[in-house]
Chains A and B, each alone.
Chain A
């Protein structure tokens, strides 16, 4: 095993352990870099140690402790000295536990709960998770979120400061809080994935890397909490979405609808893995991610668009809306019902949603109506709805899609482009 591979596979776990031992994010990061630098120097001459991770952790910890001790004796900081003494006494008993394979003792699990603590803003949770658990640089995170580097750096620094100063604990939450806290962790993982997924092709590749990071975090959660079925549902959902990532947009950044995507280019390996996971979650009482994964699995396993089992999808949306009674879920259900029972049934549901006035200003509502009307050959009404959707849409690729559909409707209704 070479050092680069060890860095890739183990640095997240090493950093998490060092944060626990040293009680300080920055100190831990610095110490880990030093230990790897030392490894680059020594291993080629002396050989790779039997347990590289243990070597790196103890080397980093010793360097950090020595550094701290020098600084403390200089500044006479009593509280830091106390922390140092505690860290050292913890070390003796930790050496064995540090190497064992019990996932609950994996420090990355503690770290993920600390990074996704509800006392931090969600944007800070996302940034800190990518920085510490995924090892992305601040520059890369800023680029991925199209934010200025100083803004992102400040966001991460403030989050670390709050963890230290308000003493956000570094541990797996107790049983009674676990579900609530896990929900927050899964949201962060899904946000990371979605940020990459919603990036159109042609945008910086780093944004699409976020999909891989989201899936990596999802796998980590499943590995660390094997009994949490909803974590598997989340992983399944990400894998199934990711399986068709390359077919969602053309090279020019035009959106390709699910029914028009080239299914031969969908990633079958991701579909198989995602489907197996989704099926397993459905045997328990599935949560929202699991149900969404099941919906994605039905789509992914239809050989042709016309083979899609829309009745099953409509039934799954019915379960989902009971778990997550949001207007967006209702809208998606209306689309599924329109496919299963016909556009008229879909229009009736849209009328109900519109009457609640919760989705005013959301472009997908008139866009869905326009599509149902299009399928009923009611071209003039369809064009009107496409115009309403266009007035509300903000994403450039989606705007171009709606414009193409509007042009088609106007052509068929005999009304020339009047906009």
Chain B
């Protein structure tokens, strides 16, 4: 079963880090990605740009509306994600706990439901 691990962190705290501290975190992420690729869990993932670059789009009555900023203003912002293959929630939680961001932000674990093929 696949799970999406959504990585939330405080962008304002990130801004306050030194280059050396950021470099360490990047290195941790590279290491983690390498490890879960080798173990066969990795199915995909990316870092996302800051929420200040986000645009939220809605279509109402056939009209497109675009607004500046993320869908919801929150204390911690979505900063990236992994998609992993895990045999159950416990394994997904164990993977999430190893993400470097879990130590200073939060990881939301969401199952990706299997789509039954449309007939």
Contact = CB atoms under 8 A, between A and B. Distances in A.
B41 to A, nearest CB: 15
Interface in B77-117: 87-90, 93, 109, 111, 113-114, 116-117
A173 B116 contact: no
Contacts of A117: 89
Given A166-B111, A167-B1, A167-B111, A119 B116 contact: no
Q: Which one of A79, A166, A169, A177 has the greatest number of beta carbons of chain B within 10 Å? A: A166
Contact of A76 (B1, B113, B119): B119
A119 B93 contact: yes
A165 B113 CA distance: 7
B88 A77 contact: no
> Do most interface residues of chain B lie in helix, strand or loop, or is the interface mixed?
loop
Contacts of A119: 89, 93
A77 B116 CA distance: 7
Contact of A78 (B89, B111, B117): B117
B116 A169 contact: no
A77 B89 CA distance: 23
Contacts of A166: 89, 109, 111
A79 B116 contact: yes
- Chain A contact-residue range equals 10 to 19
A168 B1 CA distance: 11
Q: Which one of A76, A165, A167, A169 has the greatest number of beta carbons of chain B within 10 Å? A: A167
Interface string A63-94: 00000000000001111000000000000000
Contacts of B114: 79
Interface string B1-21: 100000000000000000000
Q: Which one of B88, B113, B117 has the greatest number of beta carbons of chain A within 10 Å? A: B88
B111 A169 contact: no
B32 to A, nearest CB: 20
A185 to B, nearest CB: 15
A169 B89 CA distance: 7
Contacts of B119: 76
Contacts of A79: 114, 116
Interface string A109-150: 000000001010000000000000000000000000000000
Given A165-B111, A166-B111, A167-B111, A78 B116 contact: yes
A166 B114 CA distance: 11
Contacts of A77: 116
A169 B113 contact: no
A86 to B, nearest CB: 13
Nearest to A165: B111
Nearest to B111: A166
Contact of A168 (B88, B116, B117): B88
Interface string A42-76: 00000000000000000000000000000000001
Nearest to A177: B90
Contact of A169 (B88, B109, B117): B88
A112 to B, nearest CB: 15
Contact of B90 (A78, A165, A169): A169
Nearest to A119: B89
B38 to A, nearest CB: 21
A76 B119 CA distance: 9
Interface string A162-195: 0001111100010001000000000000000000
B92 to A, nearest CB: 8
Nearest to A82: B114
A166 B113 CA distance: 8
A177 B87 CA distance: 17
A169 B90 CA distance: 7
Nearest to A80: B116
B58 to A, nearest CB: 27
Contacts of B90: 168-169, 173, 177
A169 B111 CA distance: 13
A244 to B, nearest CB: 40
A400 B109 CA distance: 48
Given A79-B114, A165-B113, 11 more contacts: A78-B116, A78-B117, A79-B116, A117-B89, A119-B93, A165-B111, A166-B111, A168-B90, A169-B87, A169-B88, A169-B89
Across the A-B interface, the 8 shortest Cβ-Cβ residue pairs? A169-B88, A167-B88, A166-B111, A168-B89, A166-B89, A169-B90, A167-B1, A167-B89
